[in-house]
């Protein structure tokens, strides 16, 4: 990392390399400058001074606590001094973070968020500088310890993150998260918030996910436990309470509009400042509280919507219930029953008006009108879903083969369809245009698809053809 040039550092001269006590005092002053006054910049003299002092500390012949023959082992001495410097850095970070924890106690809510974000930003930038200033320690002592399989040894930047998590994060994360949740609730209640703060907190929590088995890798464990878990709990509580009150005071249709809006807001929340990892669990939480918990109420309203041709609201209900397991099955069953009854009623109506003189065209048109009406509904309101199409087919098969006209004989539908087809084709050579003929034949095939006894149709049509 390139040192940021700034005002003269006023650092003392680098101590004698053999005086590790004085060398640490010098290093501590340099670290404090980086930690606390980085805004003033670091001049090259200070940068090189601290870098050199790290090298001197690790290579000094004065290995503290060593006596006898071990004093003659430069390698062993450097090893012990590398460990001592590493531990001194840990002690320094502990004291620094303890002071931040004490400072944090003066803040609550959004002020605490601002404090946490500011200090996290300062700390991580400083950590990158110190990581580079301690390159010699990283390249030699840290690397050797990791290569030998030692646990809980990290490069200097990662060590800063580990210490932040241990000494500060674990002590203030609950309060920070409470502040985040209050801010989110304000937004859910219509207030404008500085959502950038929440994104910075999320990024911090994610950065603290270090894989203990392999520090070079990261995990989302810290974020999931300290952010996702309470966020999802608070979300559930908010929407359970809100939906219960809204349903008690408004119509089902108005509730569906409200639920749609809330689901859209939560999806936008993920895009704006949450981590993508929360998208699926947040969706499940919202679906449960806003839809599944009220699914019976929604389904009871479906018949009212069908009876009144409320297509837009049926589409809204379909979209909501499609988000939960088995949410649509009761709607499909009710839709099938409704279409079957509509078909039977249409046939009964033409039977009553026509009596024994029922014209084949009138009968077939009545069947087609119902099919066309509800096929359009399936396409527009139910996303042309195959399962709803199957329900439509089942209903049509019922009212085509078992209706008021068919009481006179189970072969009545195929007979009337055959007569209609015969009349149509006899006219085709003279008065019907080709496009109109194709359209009508397509309609005939629609009804023919539902005829159960197709042999009867063939028999009647062959007989008429032979005339």
Indicate which CATH number applies to the domain containing 281: 1.20.1310.10
What whole-number distance in Å separates Cα of residue 142 and Cα of residue 146? Answer: 6
**Is 281 in the same domain as 334?**
no
Domain annotation covers residue 180? no
Asked whether residue 441 falls in the same domain as residue 366, the answer is: yes
Do residues 204 and 168 lie in contact, with contact meaning Cβ atoms separated by under 8 Å? Answer: no
CA dist., res. 162 & res. 310, Å (int): 59
Same domain, 24 and 151: yes
Residue-number span of the structural domain to which 51 is assigned:
20-168
Residue 66 phi/psi, 5° resolution?
A: -100, 140
What's the CA gap between 283 and 285, in Å, rounded?
5
Q: Which of 168, 196, 219 is the last residue in one of the domains?
A: 168
Evaluate whether residue 390 is within a structural domain: yes
Q: What is the pLDDT of residue 433?
A: 72
Q: Which one-letter DSSP state was computed for residue 164?
A: I
Based on the domain organization, do 392 and 459 belong to the same domain? yes
Q: 338 with 328: CB under 8 angstroms?
A: no
134 part of a folded domain: yes
Q: How high is the pLDDT of residue 354?
A: 74
Kindly indicate the confidence band of residue 63, based on its pLDDT and cuts at 50, 70 and 90.
very low
Per-residue pLDDT of 190-204, as tens digits, reads 999 999 999 999 999
Query: Quick one: 88 and 132 in the same domain?
Result: yes
Does residue 293 sit in the same domain as residue 345?
no
pLDDT for residue 467 = 54
Q: Is residue 217 part of a domain?
A: no
Is there a domain that residue 442 lies in?
Answer: yes
In a domain, 199, yes or no: no
Does residue 452 share a domain with residue 375? yes
Whether residue 209 lies inside any domain: the answer is no
Per-residue pLDDT tens over the stretch 213-244: 777 788 999 999 999 999 999 999 999 999 99
Polymer length in residues for the chain: 467
DSSP string, 336-374: HHHHHHHHHHHHHHHHHHHGGG--HHHHHHHHHHHHHHH
Residue 284 and residue 334 share a domain:
no
Percentage of the chain exceeding pLDDT 90:
65
User: In terms of domains, do 375 and 430 share one?
Assistant: yes
What pTM value is reported for the model? Answer: 0.85
Give me the residue label for tokens 């003066």: 106
In-domain check, residue 215 = no
Question: Who contacts 302 (Cβ-Cβ below 8 Å, separation ≥6)?
Answer: 314, 317, 330, 331, 334, 335
- Cα separation, 283 vs 134, in Å, equals 45
User: 31 and 163 share a domain?
Assistant: yes
Examine the domain organization and report whether 339 and 286 are in the same domain. Answer: no
Q: Quote the pLDDT of residue 409.
A: 58
- Give me the number of domains the chain comprises: 3
Backbone angles phi, psi at 403, to 5 degrees: -140, -175
Task: Give the dihedral sign, CA 123/124/130/136.
Answer: positive
Please give the Cα distance from 115 to 107 (Å, whole number).
8
Coil, strand, or helix at residue 210? strand
Specify whether 339 is located in the same domain as 381.
yes
């Amino acid at each position: 990392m390139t040192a940021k040039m700034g005002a003269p550092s006023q650092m003392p001269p680098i101590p004698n390399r053999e005086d590790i006590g004085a060398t640490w005092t010098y290093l501590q002053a340099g670290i404090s400058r980086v930690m606390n006054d980085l805004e003033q910049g670091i001049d090259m003299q200070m940068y090189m001074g601290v870098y050199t002092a790290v090298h001197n500390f690790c290579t000094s012949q004065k290995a503290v606590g060593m006596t006898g023959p071990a004093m003659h082992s430069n390698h062993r001495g450097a090893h012990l001094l590398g460990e001592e410097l590493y531990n001194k850095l840990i002690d320094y970070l502990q004291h620094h973070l303890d002071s931040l924890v004490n400072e944090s106690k003066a803040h609550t809510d959004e002020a605490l968020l601002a404090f946490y974000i500011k200090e996290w930003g300062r700390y991580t930038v400083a950590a990158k500088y110190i990581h580079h200033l301690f390159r010699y320690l990283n390249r030699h002592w840290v690397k050797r310890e990791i290569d030998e399989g030692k646990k809980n040894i990290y490069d200097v930047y990662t060590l800063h993150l580990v210490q932040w998590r241990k000494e500060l994060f674990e002590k203030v994360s609950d309060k920070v998260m409470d502040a985040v949740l209050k801010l989110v609730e304000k937004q859910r209640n219509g207030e404008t918030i500085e959502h950038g703060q929440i994104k910075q907190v999320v990024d911090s929590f994610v950065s603290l996910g270090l894989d203990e088995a392999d520090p070079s890798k990261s995990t989302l464990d810290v974020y999931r436990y300290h952010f996702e878990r309470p966020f999802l709990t608070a979300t559930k509580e908010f929407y359970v309470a809100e939906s219960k009150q809204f349903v008690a005071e408004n119509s089902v249709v108005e509730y569906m509009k409200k639920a749609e809006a809330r689901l859209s807001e939560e999806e936008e929340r993920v895009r704006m400042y949450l981590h993508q990892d929360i998208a699926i669990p947040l969706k499940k939480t919202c679906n449960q509280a806003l839809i599944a918990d009220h699914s019976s109420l929604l389904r009871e309203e479906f018949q009212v919507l069908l009876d009144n041709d409320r297509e837009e609201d049926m589409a809204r209900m379909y979209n909501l219930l499609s988000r939960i397991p088995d949410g649509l099955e009761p709607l499909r069953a009710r839709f099938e029953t409704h279409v079957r009854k509509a078909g039977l009623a249409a046939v009964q109506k033409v039977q009553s008006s026509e009596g024994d003189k029922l014209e084949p065209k009138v009968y077939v048109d009545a069947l087609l009108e119902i099919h066309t009406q509800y096929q359009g509904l399936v396409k527009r309101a139910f996303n042309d879903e195959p399962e709803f199409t199957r329900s439509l087919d089942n209903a049509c098969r019922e009212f085509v083969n078992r209706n008021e006209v068919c009481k006179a004989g189970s072969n009545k539908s195929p007979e009337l369809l055959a007569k209609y087809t015969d009349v149509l084709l006899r006219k085709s050579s003279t008065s019907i245009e080709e496009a109109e003929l194709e359209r009508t034949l397509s309609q005939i095939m629609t009804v023919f698809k539902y005829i159960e006894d197709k042999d009867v149709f063939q028999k009647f049509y062959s007989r008429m053809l032979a005339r």
